Structure 1
């Protein structure tokens, strides 16, 4: 054992104070420069040998090994696509030459960057939700006598630039898909103001770097145009129908025909529920670590059997995570690990329109 620890010490070039040797599971020790418990992954202060010594999440001696379901993570090039690489896969197997994909940050890497840098995410003391009873997509009974959202400190949240510019967009759309949509100059000014706000955030900067690295954009100008095309340029939801939709309207505002479609944003849900337009009827499924809820509800009397959304994330986070999946895994499941939790985002493109647009995007829980 001490031979192994000594070799790790030599390999990392750390002092003993920077090692997890003999410290696995120990509480916070402010006298140390790094930590060795499960919270260190959340706070980003794990010692460099934490995964090797305290968990089995290491690629040491496993680079290019076949799938091993007895291990919590994998160490071959397929792990990049499946989002289950060990934390040291890049440094040990890619940086060391043991099998090199074309990029150094996969979708799990990006997802964690987005999550960790979402400084505009609503804090736990700024809102409260009441999930109440579980239901099913086929149920006809209401399992929630009260609203989903109990309160939100709007004065703290909605004054932030990415929120205030997001709110300005919500009344630019007519939910009914039977109505032709258009966007006048004033509405494009509001769209550009929203883009200016979100593109200035760390979340969208991480997305930009990821998309450049993966060859989806080349510079800031092309990046902005890709976001516009995916989310704001209008399209017809059917090949013979009117110009009646956009990615932003469908996913973040919601649309209606004989029922509700899209509607995968917590802010819009909160606002419409506050107005009395939404009747929350219970949750179908939840992902508690990531604060995702799939709700059954009615909106202006029309039903949504299951609508899933992140709760409390910033507008830029929604745009970023859905954009990454729409571009890298269009029309398919986009699976990754974020904040230690496995998640799948489902996206679809508009098949009858050239290029990529967001037809829909949502957490598939």
Structure 2
């Protein structure tokens, strides 16, 4: 009997140890930015967003441990670290507190102030009377069923698509091959469509505000430079992997979407609506929703699954491009946090890590 008890205790200890090791492997604690390790069940670097294999705590451990957009914010016990003067005495400052916050931003326009202005200037944002959505069932990101019998968009007044920036956006949506790993190129006619879209976007009050803010922040030197900057961020092609073919761009990934063993990118409501119209998207339900209207949708696109694709609903093309560009340039590879129209907003952007210069790998609201 004594021997049996010893054996049972040893077995329990072994199980606990193995469980502890398994749990550690599924966590990003101490692994943020680590290279791909195929022996582990999940990853903890920027590429895991693209490939959909991040550990469950990646966002909290690796992304939220920053003062980006949080300088002088009050205590937030849900965060892994803090960004106000009290954190110095308490020893719980985020690693980038000194570089982002300690110098102070006296006299500078805050990101929240800029976001509010962009929101108020967005005259092309679609009125609530011109669209209707149906959220239906809420699902978890690991859901594999279908909690939505119908489409997400029940109605959109398509007259809005005659507005200049919308009418220049839609022709761009079929210019790309969504298959990651297959070579991409743009014809002279397609570049003409891109330039026409940029002309219209740059003429809006929304993008003029973004330009003035980024000019004051030293992120651009003038109007011609700003146009080139937007083209580089969004439209110049690049390889999605360091050893792969030229197969992607910021616009293709964020607005149009891509796929390889699942959907990657796809964070634009106009594209979602257009694809629902042709029955290439099957909306499965919402993972999250917030205001101003942002949905984290679960869906399949051409048979490829997206566990959560988040996007602003009913925003204009110039608003999306402006706010994502600002976040990508001011807080690259980080969460960009601010308030807008009385609501807390967080936007994640990623840069193309294997290339010099700024090009958007992804951008989306959390």
With the shorter chain as reference, the TM-score category is: 0.7 to 0.9
CA distance in 1, matches of 2:75, 2:111: 21
Q: What residue is the counterpart of 1:362 in the other structure?
A: 364
Instruction: Note the 1:1-365 alignment, pairs <5 A.
Output: 69=75, 101=105, 104-155=108-159, 157-287=160-290, 289-364=291-366
Quickly say closer, same or farther: Cα 1:100–1:192, change in 2 above 3 A.
same
Q: What residue is the counterpart of 2:56 in the other structure?
A: none
User: Residue 186 of structure 1: CA displacement?
Assistant: 0.8
Given that 1:103 and 1:213 are in contact with CA atoms closer than 8 Å, whether structure 2 keeps it comes out as: no
User: Residue 68 of structure 1: CA displacement?
Assistant: 5.2
User: Residue 183 of structure 1: CA displacement?
Assistant: 1.1
User: Residue 107 of structure 1: CA displacement?
Assistant: 1.2
Given that 1:216 and 1:327 are in contact with CA atoms closer than 8 Å, whether structure 2 keeps it comes out as: yes
Unaligned runs of 5+ in 2: 1-71, 77-82, 86-102
User: Residue 131 of structure 1: CA displacement?
Assistant: 0.5
User: Residue 69 of structure 1: CA displacement?
Assistant: 4.8
Given that 2:74 and 2:84 are in contact with CA atoms closer than 8 Å, whether structure 1 keeps it comes out as: no
CA distance in 1, matches of 2:324, 2:116: 14
CA distance in 2, matches of 1:140, 1:172: 31
CA distance in 1, matches of 2:106, 2:188: 41
CA distance in 1, matches of 2:303, 2:179: 13
CA distance in 2, matches of 1:111, 1:190: 28
CA distance in 1, matches of 2:254, 2:73: 36
Unaligned runs of 5+ in 1: 1-65, 71-76, 80-98
User: Residue 100 of structure 1: CA displacement?
Assistant: 6.4
Give structure 1 regions of 4+ aligned residues with deviation exceeding 2 angstroms. 66-70, 99-104
How many residues are aligned here?
A: 273
Deviates more, 1:243-252 or 1:101-110: 101-110
CA distance in 2, matches of 1:103, 1:311: 33
Residues 189-220 of structure 1, C-alpha deviations (whole Å, 9 max, x = no match):
10000000010001000000100010001110
State TM-score, norm by structure 1. 0.72
Question: SS of the residue aligned with 2:306?
Answer: strand
Question: SS of the residue aligned with 1:101?
Answer: coil
Given that 2:327 and 2:336 are in contact with CA atoms closer than 8 Å, whether structure 1 keeps it comes out as: yes
CA distance in 2, matches of 1:326, 1:109: 17
CA distance in 2, matches of 1:113, 1:249: 27
Residues 282-310 of structure 1, C-alpha deviations (whole Å, 9 max, x = no match):
000000x2100000000011100000000
User: Residue 78 of structure 1: CA displacement?
Assistant: 6.1
Given that 2:257 and 2:264 are in contact with CA atoms closer than 8 Å, whether structure 1 keeps it comes out as: yes
